Structure 1
C-alpha cells in the first residue's frame, strides 16, 4: 500500500456531484472552490465554499445566483471560474436544464451572472481550450414536456467578450460523456449515454474537436467497451486512461454487481486507437480518477451501478509505466458521486458525495479527506 488518507474539515453544505467537473475546482491561489451540487432530495443547491489546504478547513463564500447540479465548473485563465448550465430547482421529471452561466471572483468570493448559453443543457462536458476559451459539448436537454434528450450541439464561451458562439455539432449526441485535452490542443470526448425510449444506452463512440480552422469534430477510435459514469485521465506520455463506469449486460462478478466495469483502456492520439489497459481489482462507477505528480493515477470511491446503495471506501493507484494497480488505503467515509481535485502540493482532496442510499435512509458524506502520496 502506498500513501495515506487523513480527515479534513466538514463541507459546509453536504452535496453530491455526478460527472467529472460539476462540483470542485482548484483556484490559482491553491485553494479549492466547491459550488453547487445535489442535496438528499435530488434538488439543486446554491451553496459555495472554499477549502484552505494549509488549515484543512472550509470557508463559506457567496452563493450561486442559480442553484444548479450536473453543471460544469471551469477555471479560466484570468483566475475566475465559469459555472454553466445544469439542472435547477427541486427534483422533478423530466428534469429541465438551465442555460444560465455565472462567473466566480475569488477576490470577492461572489458570483456574477454572465451571458447565458445558447442552449440549455446539463451533464455536458466543458473544456478549457489553449486560447482561453471554453468548449461546452453535448449534455441533456428537455425534448418535450415529458422527455429528456441527448444533445449533439456544442458552443464556445469567450471570457474576454463574455459571449457564446455556436460550434460545429458533434457526430453523435451524448450526455454524461467525459472529455480530456490532448497535448496538441485538441479535445477528446469519450463515451456517455444516449436516451433510448424511457432509459439510456451506453456509448463506445469517441470523437475529437480541433479548435483550429474554425473548429471541427472528427470521429476517432471506438472504445473496446461502451461506458458511462466513467473517468478520463490524461497521462504523461500523451495517452488518455479511461477507467470503470458502467455498461449494460456485463457479467456478474464475485464481489460487485455486473453492471459496474473493472476494465480500463488507453487512447493513443498518434494512432487514434484504444488499447486495453490492466483491469482494476473490481468494478466501480461514480468514482474519481486524479493524476498524481509522478504520473500515476489515484482512483477513489465509487459504487456499483445496479444498486447504488453505498459508496466504496477503497482507493487504488495505477502506474502507467509498470502497468499495475496497487492499494492506496481506505477512506474514512466510503463515498460515490463526489468531487475530487489535485492540490498544488501534490496531495488530493475529496469532498461531498453519498455514503449510503436505501429505501428508508440516505446519508451524505460531510467530511472531506486528503490523500498524501
Structure 2
C-alpha cells in the first residue's frame, strides 16, 4: 500500500461511515462489459484503504479516507470489514484503535494481519495486530519512525520489512520481529525513497523502485537482502516515476507499471519498465493503453501469470504471458484512484473502493472475471 503526504494535500478527501448497503445477493453487470460485476457495497466509502487476504479466502478491508460533509474536510476511518466471496457481501469487523489511511496491512503466516503506520492528518508510528480467529486487535509497540504510504513485506523468515514513508533517511527501513513483537531498525539505505513501489522477487530479495526524494520523483532503485540486512542500488529506470505499481512476471523479473512525474495529474504515464534480475537493470516494457497513476495496490499477477491493471483509470487492462502489448478487457463506470485489487481463490479479482475524478471516495466493489 503506497500513498504519501502530498496525497492528503492534493485530494482533500477521506473516509467515514456510509449506510448504503445493497440488498441483492446477485452480482450485477457494471458498465459496458459483462466481465465486471457489482457486488454488495462496503459499509463505508474508502480510498487509500488496505485489502488483505485471510485464511479461507475472505478479504479483510481496513481504514481509508473520504471527504467530510462540507466537501473539504477529511474524515479518516478506523473501521474494518470482511468480504465473503461466497455471498459477495461485506460484514463489519472489529474496528482498529486508531483512524488511519495510507497504512500497510500484511498477512502473517498464522492468518493474522499486521497493520502499521498510515495517516490521520499526520504520519503515524502506531501498529496493531488483527487476530483473524478471535476478531480482536492486539496493541503493538510503536515503529521506530512515523510512516505513511510505506510498504510492509513479509520475508521468508517471517519477519516484516517496513520500507519508506518516513521523511528521514536514517529511518528509511525497519524490521518487525513477529515472535518478539518488536520493531528493529536496519542499516540505513543509500537513498531515502518515499512512496516507492516494492515487491519480493522469487530469489527472496526485495526490490524497491521509484518514489520521491524531498518531494521530487526519482528513477532510482534499491535491493534489500534479508540475509545480510543490507541495501544495494540497482540500475536506474529510464524516467522518474512515483505513485506507480509493480508486479512479478512469470520469468521472475518484475514489471513497473505507470505512475507520474512531478506534474502529477498532468504527468501520468502509459509506460512500463521491466527489471531484469540477472542484469540488475531496467528496460522498456509494453505500453499501457491508458495513462495511469495512484494505482499502488491495483496491479496484481493472476494465477496464469497475466498482469491485471485495474486502477488509475476506468479501463481494465491485462498483459498475458508472452504478449507484446496490453489488452483492454473491461471497463468501470468511472476511474478509480487508490483503490485495491485482490486475487481471490477462484481466480477472480475483487476491486474495492477508491475515489473518482470528483475526489469522492466510493463504497462500491466489483468482481472481475477474466
TM-score normalised by length of structure 1: 0.85
Where do 1:352-363 residues align within 5 Å? 352-357=353-358, 362-363=359-360
Change in CA separation of 1:166 and 1:140 when aligned onto 2, cut-off 3 Å:
closer
Report how far residue 258 of structure 1 moved.
4.2
Where do 1:143-162 residues align within 5 Å? 153-162=172-181
| SS of alignment partner, residue 153 of structure 2 | strand
Report how far residue 194 of structure 1 moved.
1.8
Structure 1 counterpart of 2:43: 12
Report how far residue 370 of structure 1 moved.
0.7
| Structure 2 unaligned spans of 5+ | 1-31, 68-72
Q: Is the 8 A contact 2:33 2:331 kept in 1?
A: no
Distance, in Å, in 2 between the alignment partners of 1:320 and 1:151 is: 40
Higher strand content, 1 or 2: 1
Report how far residue 58 of structure 1 moved.
0.2
Change in CA separation of 1:151 and 1:223 when aligned onto 2, cut-off 3 Å:
farther
Change in CA separation of 1:249 and 1:14 when aligned onto 2, cut-off 3 Å:
closer
Structure 2 counterpart of 1:205: 220
Distance, in Å, in 2 between the alignment partners of 1:363 and 1:274 is: 36
Distance, in Å, in 2 between the alignment partners of 1:151 and 1:333 is: 40
Structure 2 counterpart of 1:325: 326
> Which residue among 244, 268, 273 is the counterpart of 2:276?
268
Distance, in Å, in 1 between the alignment partners of 2:232 and 2:350 is: 35
Q: How many residues align?
A: 332
Q: Is the 8 A contact 1:338 1:351 kept in 2?
A: yes
> Which residue among 110, 115, 129 is the counterpart of 2:141?
115
Structure 2 counterpart of 1:175: 194
Structure 2 counterpart of 1:281: 289
| SS of alignment partner, residue 199 of structure 2 | strand
Q: Is the 8 A contact 1:138 1:170 kept in 2?
A: no
Structure 1 counterpart of 2:101: 69
Q: Is the 8 A contact 2:314 2:332 kept in 1?
A: yes
> Which residue among 356, 363, 370 is the counterpart of 1:366?
363
| Structure 1 unaligned spans of 5+ | 142-148, 251-256, 303-311
Distance, in Å, in 2 between the alignment partners of 1:194 and 1:45 is: 28
Structure 1 counterpart of 2:24: none
Where do 1:30-45 residues align within 5 Å? 30-40=57-67, 41-45=73-77
Distance, in Å, in 1 between the alignment partners of 2:164 and 2:227 is: 20
Q: Is residue 53 of structure 2 the alignment partner of residue 26 of structure 1?
A: yes
Q: Is residue 239 of structure 2 the alignment partner of residue 225 of structure 1?
A: yes
Structure 2 counterpart of 1:54: 86
Q: Is residue 171 of structure 2 the alignment partner of residue 140 of structure 1?
A: no
Structure 1 counterpart of 2:7: none
Distance, in Å, in 1 between the alignment partners of 2:363 and 2:334 is: 9
Report how far residue 150 of structure 1 moved.
6.7
Change in CA separation of 1:201 and 1:6 when aligned onto 2, cut-off 3 Å:
same
Report how far residue 187 of structure 1 moved.
0.3
Q: Is the 8 A contact 1:356 1:364 kept in 2?
A: no
CA RMSD of aligned residues (A): 1.9
| SS of alignment partner, residue 157 of structure 1 | strand
Distance, in Å, in 2 between the alignment partners of 1:269 and 1:152 is: 27
Report how far residue 3 of structure 1 moved.
7.7
Distance, in Å, in 2 between the alignment partners of 1:81 and 1:42 is: 26
Structure 1 runs (4+) deviating above 6 angstroms are: none
Q: Is residue 260 of structure 2 the alignment partner of residue 246 of structure 1?
A: yes
| SS of alignment partner, residue 341 of structure 1 | strand
Report how far residue 107 of structure 1 moved.
1.4
Change in CA separation of 1:238 and 1:63 when aligned onto 2, cut-off 3 Å:
same
Q: Is the 8 A contact 1:124 1:175 kept in 2?
A: yes
